[in-house]
Structure 1
Amino acid sequence: MHHRNEHDSYNYVSNMSRRESLKWLGLLAAGSAVSLTAGCTKALEDDVAVSAKEHWPDLDIKPVTAKGYGQDPNLVMPPESPWPLTLTADELTLVAVLADYIVPREGAIPSASELQVPAVINEWVSAPYEGQQRDRIKILNSLAWLNDEAQLRFKKQFVALNEKQHRAILDDIAFLNEQTPLQFQRIGKAFLRFKELVLAAFFCTPEGCKDIGYLGNVPIAGDYPGPSDEAKAHLDQVLAELGLSEYAYTD
């Protein structure tokens, strides 16, 4: 993670190719339907109330009208630039600063920005698909809100603040629950989605997989022993719940 007192001159620059970020986009799209914060309270599921004290930017965000991949995309060798990237340099730097608070460097595990997660977020919000465009509205408004809040509190843009000032703002929005003040609920809900995307992108990387102990396919010496008793019992239970017990595993 970058030192916070360096942010006045810090500008995130991605060294990831479009071909690579498009591959990540496909991985992220495959896993984004599952929330990484499913244990949060019901307050997250309902539409948030509007407070007179909030200052939600409600930007006039034009939709991305570029053509998408179509019905059968080639994610192994995707085209170099199927649509233009839309985040500005300042927005991308702000995404990098925020992402490194969500996934900081820990020992040998790199931070989100070191693994080019901001470039994937840029790819995500620039994609011309309905789900990504909904996230685009949330994220662009969130970035604007953070700069507005930084100006209101500290008379600076968010990236120019020090770590203590960053945390003063983020602590108000990063832990959305039933006790969150009304003026922080809309930004809290939008920031929650941003966190989900950052975490999902991070765990798509080899380093992220290593961080959670994922091994992937492991070769087995000799004949394949078949699924474990625990796995078969779990499958039988799921099939029974679906009324599909006739398809249960048999030796």
Structure 2
Amino acid sequence: MHLDRRTTLQWMLAASAALGVEASGGATPARRPGAGYGTDPKLTRSYRAGELWPLSFTPEQRRCAEALCALIIPADAQSPSAAQLQVHLFIDEWISAPYPTQQRDRGVILQGLAWLDAESERRFQQRFDQLHVTQQARIADDICWVAQAKPEFAEAARFFARFRDLTAGGFYTTPEGSRDLGYVGNVPSVTFDGPPAKVLQIVGLS
């Protein structure tokens, strides 16, 4: 599945709202001290890949991120996996954006993916994306909770926590993820019978 540039940018804004991060979709200059990063992209037009900013993942990093997305949110009877929804491409777009939060995430994610492949080679003599899911899970179990991680896994656990948040933010802002949550907002009701009788009684209207 190919994602056009406008879709991924709109996806980024929706996910940053879900993650509690400031992002602006207008074309006004950034209001930050210092040189800043210029103007934000206009989401009413489409962009060629690399036109706004170059993406960060190498092919190896993209495969590693895809495998980790699939491990964090696997497919089930109700919805596809985060990898099938191309959430790893959203994460690549996210960490490549020039905004301060995304730039902080960039180092965390790239270093974490490098650690994941190195740890996979150390334990199983294969890259992370080449491992069986049970082997991937054995590594993830050591870094899945920051508070419980051993000292030697502390930094990797912080990476995993951020990657997991980005995966969830990307997944649950897709149409499939919204359906998985049971979200029914922005859908008009066929009929409206008025407020419940109990509410009317509380306000003295029944």
TM-score above 0.5, yes or no? yes
> What's the CA shift for 1:216?
0.8
Q: Does the aligned pair in 1 maintain the 2:37–2:99 contact within 8 Å?
A: no
What is the RMSD of the two structures over their aligned residues, measured on CA atoms?
2.8
Residues 69/220 of structure 1: CA separation in 2 closer, same or farther (3 Å cut): farther
CA displacement 1:66-94 (0-9 Å, x = unmatched): 95543xx4334354431121211111111
Q: Does the aligned pair in 2 maintain the 1:92–1:118 contact within 8 Å?
A: yes
> Which of 168, 174, 177 lines up with 1:205 in the alignment?
174
Q: Which residue of 2 aligns with 1:191?
A: 160
Structure 2: which 5+ runs fail to align? Answer: 22-35
> Which of 95, 98, 105 lines up with 2:75 in the alignment?
105
> What's the CA shift for 1:163?
2.3
CA displacement 1:31-55 (0-9 Å, x = unmatched): 2227xxxxxxxxxxxxxxxxxxxxx
Q: Percent identity?
A: 37
> Which of 115, 122, 127 lines up with 1:145 in the alignment?
115
Query: Comparing 25-34 with 139-148, which one deviates more in the overlay?
Result: 25-34
Following the alignment from structure 1 to structure 2, what is the Cα–Cα distance between the partners of residues 182 and 126?
A: 30
CA displacement 1:128-151 (0-9 Å, x = unmatched): 111001000100000000111112
> What's the CA shift for 1:164?
2.6
| SS across alignment from 2:157 | helix
Is 1:87 aligned to 2:49, yes or no?
A: no
Q: TM-score, normalised by structure 1?
A: 0.66
Q: Which residue of 1 aligns with 2:184?
A: 215
Q: Which residue of 2 aligns with 1:74?
A: 42
> What's the CA shift for 1:225?
4.3
Is 1:16 aligned to 2:10, yes or no?
A: no
Q: Does the aligned pair in 2 maintain the 1:117–1:202 contact within 8 Å?
A: yes
Q: TM-score, normalised by structure 2?
A: 0.79
| SS across alignment from 1:77 | coil
Is 1:28 aligned to 2:28, yes or no?
A: no
Q: Does the aligned pair in 1 maintain the 2:78–2:180 contact within 8 Å?
A: no
Query: Comparing 74-83 with 195-204, which one deviates more in the overlay?
Result: 74-83
Following the alignment from structure 1 to structure 2, what is the Cα–Cα distance between the partners of residues 115 and 157?
A: 22
Is 1:165 aligned to 2:152, yes or no?
A: no
Q: Does the aligned pair in 1 maintain the 2:71–2:133 contact within 8 Å?
A: no
> What's the CA shift for 1:109?
0.5
Q: Does the aligned pair in 2 maintain the 1:173–1:185 contact within 8 Å?
A: yes
Q: Which residue of 1 aligns with 2:150?
A: 181
- Aligned pairs, number: 186
Q: Which residue of 1 aligns with 2:33?
A: none
Following the alignment from structure 2 to structure 1, what is the Cα–Cα distance between the partners of residues 13 and 108?
A: 20
> What's the CA shift for 1:21?
1.0
Amino acid at match of 1:204: T
Amino acid at match of 2:71: Y
| SS across alignment from 1:194 | helix
CA displacement 1:72-124 (0-9 Å, x = unmatched): x4334354431121211111111110000111101141111111111111100
Amino acid at match of 2:141: D
Q: Does the aligned pair in 2 maintain the 1:68–1:128 contact within 8 Å?
A: no
Amino acid at match of 1:206: P
